């Protein structure tokens, strides 16, 4: 593949846009090289400025669950935009979105729309603090909740409970209220709760972690968190920005049958438009302005064009139950195919999959938390990534990201992907025995 136009555009982009990208996950920092500039996409394929065709496993990081340019979504966007892109007044579309979301997700009485997953998570934490009257919250190493200040905190060395800003610009004052625990480790959570008695407003987590590859919750982990929250008067917040409407119609809440107090959504809910949402029971959401005192707002929140896109996609997902079954089947085929190829080439690999979210780690398994994820061979991933790119397969450009399968990834696409991996690993193993 050749990408002179993408290369030129990236050089140009770097002059006016920090790092040439509007979100770091798009840059090829972790794998080296030049990100490709897309012009359009259809189903499982993306097309770049140089006219190359790509099999896409990013899916806009989740929203393209039914494939790109899904006709019902495109139609809804065009029709709504023609009648104005925004009013700054309520519209019936917002009611329809709220009805649809509350109908799909168990235990959701009320929902407030935002413009991103970050906003949804920030707001959910503010609501939890306002509701409980407490300042601190617990998050997990390796989970991502957007770029809000209070989430950009990593565990300090030694004592788990002392958080440090993971980005300059986040104050130590903010860091002291964010406590960091180990994913899938209930003991680490219990210890923090005991050490911060009556101070913890919430525990927030990705019920299926998708921002450190794909790491599912261990048996009993979510139930254990529910119990700890109840014992300590803290709210349980599921950040379903990635897992929501992806791993099941009702997300992790449906799949694992554990009821959180608050939920955050994004990605699929907007079908590729900038949308997020957070919600919970009538009681908890009762504190949100203008009903209650917890302020939360957005000039473009509930934007009509974004709402129509989301409604069109969610309607398809809600009314066609075969979709989730078929997503599961296709994703399992991809998982099996790749596993066989890795085995054939004697590559050390651990993998996790929940529905159409996949994680491959180039290290020994099992991978159940951030310390396991950190063992993945990133250098080998980079070589594999670029190999796949040369075969026309666009994987997420980082060893720490989940891969997304869409409903448009049919048998042909899956076979092409597995064949590409076989070809790449043949090349990688040629020079000096096993690939790793």
Ligand X SMILES: *Cc1c(COP(=O)(O)O)cnc(C)c1O
Complex with ligand X: residue 121 or 125, whichever CB lies closer: 121
Q: How many CB atoms are located within 10 Å of the residue 426 CB?
A: 14
State the minimum distance, in angstroms, from the CB of residue 243 to ligand X.
7
CA angle in degrees (0–180, nearest 5) for 352-118-49: 75
Give the integer Cα–Cα distance in Å for 165 and 150.
Answer: 8
The C-alpha atoms of residue 288 and residue 123 are separated, in whole angstroms, by: 9
If the CB atoms of residues 242 and 414 are measured against ligand X, the closer one turns out to be: 242
Q: Cβ distance 279 to 108 under 8 Å?
A: yes
CA atoms within 13 A on the CB side of 232: 28
Q: Does 121 engage in binding with ligand X (CB under 6 A)? A: yes
Q: What is the DSSP letter of 218?
A: P
260 binds ligand X (CB under 6 A): no
Query: Is 176 annotated in the active site?
Result: no
Of 238-257, binders to ligand X (CB under 6 A) are 239, 241-242
Residue 144 known to be catalytic: yes
Give dist(CA 52, CA 170) in Å, integer. Answer: 41
- Of positions 56, 185, 206, 372, contacts ligand X by CB under 6 A: 206
Beta bridge partners of 403: 358
Binding test (CB under 6 A) with ligand X, winner from 43, 207, 250, 266: 266
Select from 28-36, 38-46, 77-85, 236-244 the region that touches ligand X (CB under 6 A).
236-244
Q: Could you say which of 177, 182, 185, 239 is catalytic? A: 239
Closer residue to ligand X, CB minimum distance, 209 or 334:
209
Binding mask 146-165 for ligand X (x = CB under 6 A): x-------------------
Paired tokens of 215: 């790491």
Q: Residue 145 interacts with ligand X (CB under 6 A)?
A: yes
Query: Which span (204-212, 330-338, 372-380, 404-412) binds ligand X, by CB under 6 A?
Result: 204-212
309-341 burial, b at 16+ Cβ within 10 Å, e below that, comes to bbbbbbbbbbeeeebbeebbebbbbbbebbeeb
403 binds ligand X (CB under 6 A): no
Tell me which stretch binds ligand X (CB under 6 A): 10-18, 78-86, 89-97, 111-119.
111-119
**Cβ of residue 209: shortest distance to ligand X, in angstroms?**
8
Choices 84-92, 112-120, 286-294, 343-351; region in contact with ligand X by CB under 6 A: 112-120
Torsion angles phi and psi, residue 35, rounded to 5: -65, 150
Pairing of strands 53-56, 393-394: parallel
Query: Tokens for 104?
Result: 């799909």
Please give the Cα distance from 424 to 390 (Å, whole number): 9
Nearer to ligand X, 144 or 403 (CB): 144
| Cα 12 off chain centre by | 29
Distance CA 375, CA 377 (A): 6
Q: Which CB, 246 or 249, lies closer to ligand X?
A: 246
Q: If binding is defined by CB under 6 A, does position 116 make contact with ligand X? A: yes
306 near ligand X, rule: CB under 6 A: no
Report CA-CA distances (Å) from 83 to 80, 114, 311. Answer: 5, 22, 17
Strands 235-239 and 200-205, how do they pair? parallel
Nearer to ligand X, 206 or 422 (CB): 206
The catalytic residue among 45, 144, 394, 400 is 144
Smallest distance from ligand X to CB 139, Å = 11
Binding-site size for ligand X (CB under 6 A) equals: 15
282 or 299: whose CB is closer to ligand X?
299
- Among 118, 123, 301, 398, which residue interacts with ligand X (rule: CB under 6 A)? 118
Place of tokens 């925004």: 86
Cβ closer to ligand X: 52 or 301? 301
Burial call 246-285: b when 16+ CB within 10 Å, e when fewer: bbbbbbbbebbebbbbbbbbbbbbbbbbebbbbbbeeebb
144 binds ligand X (CB under 6 A): yes
CB of 268 to ligand X, least distance (A): 11
> How many other CB atoms are found less than 10 A from the CB of residue 295?
11
User: Catalytic site residue 183?
Assistant: no
Least Å distance, CB 117 to ligand X, is: 2
Q: Applying CB under 6 A, which residues contact ligand X?
A: 116-118, 121, 144-146, 206, 210-211, 239, 241-242, 266, 276
Which residues carry out catalysis?
Answer: 144, 239, 267
């Amino acid at each position: 593949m050749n990408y002179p136009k993408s290369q030129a555009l990236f050089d140009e982009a770097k002059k006016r846009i920090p790092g040439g990208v509007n979100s770091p996950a798009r840059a090829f920092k972790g794998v080296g090289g030049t990100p490709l500039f897309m012009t359009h996409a259809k189903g499982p394929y993306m097309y770049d400025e140089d006219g190359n065709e790509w099999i896409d496993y990013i899916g806009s990081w989740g929203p393209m669950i039914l494939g790109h340019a899904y006709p019902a979504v495109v139609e809804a966007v065009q029709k709504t935009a023609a009648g104005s892109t925004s009013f700054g007044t309520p519209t019936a579309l917002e009611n329809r979105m709220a009805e649809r979301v509350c109908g799909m997700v168990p235990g959701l009485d009320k929902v407030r729309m935002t413009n991103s997953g970050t906003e949804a998570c920030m707001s959910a934490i503010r609501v939890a603090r306002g509701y409980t009257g407490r300042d601190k919250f617990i998050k997990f190493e390796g989970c991502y909740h957007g770029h809000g200040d209070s989430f950009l905190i990593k565990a300090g060395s030694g004592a788990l409970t002392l958080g440090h800003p993971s980005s300059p610009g986040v104050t130590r004052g903010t860091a002291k209220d964010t406590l960091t625990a180990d994913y899938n480790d209930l003991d680490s959570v219990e210890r923090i709760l005991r050490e911060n008695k009556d101070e913890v407003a919430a525990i927030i987590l990705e019920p299926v972690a998708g921002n450190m590859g794909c790491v599912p919750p261990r048996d009993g982990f979510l139930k254990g968190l529910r119990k700890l929250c109840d014992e300590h008067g803290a709210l349980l917040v599921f950040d379903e920005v990635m897992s929501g409407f992806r791993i099941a119609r009702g997300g992790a809440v449906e799949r694992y049958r554990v009821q959180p107090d608050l939920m955050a959504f994004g990605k699929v809910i907007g079908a590729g438009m900038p949308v997020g949402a957070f919600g919970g029971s009538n009681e908890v959401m009762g504190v949100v302005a203008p009903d209650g005192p917890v302020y939360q707002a957005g000039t473009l929140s509930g934007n009509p064009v974004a709402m129509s896109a989301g409604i069109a996609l969610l309607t398809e997902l809600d009314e066609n139950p075969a979709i989730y079954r078929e997503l599961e089947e296709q994703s399992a085929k991809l998982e099996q195919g790749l596993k066989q190829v890795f085995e054939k080439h004697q590559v050390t690999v651990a993998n996790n999959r929940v529905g159409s979210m996949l994680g491959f780690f180039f290290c020994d398994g099992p991978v159940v938390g951030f310390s396991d994820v950190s063992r993945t061979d990133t250098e080998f991933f980079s070589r594999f990534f670029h190999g796949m790119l040369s075969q026309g397969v666009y994987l997420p450009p980082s060893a720490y990201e989940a891969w997304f399968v869409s409903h448009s990834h049919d048998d042909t696409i899956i076979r092409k992907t597995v064949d590409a991996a076989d070809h790449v690993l043949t090349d990688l193993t040629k020079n000096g025995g096993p690939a790793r």
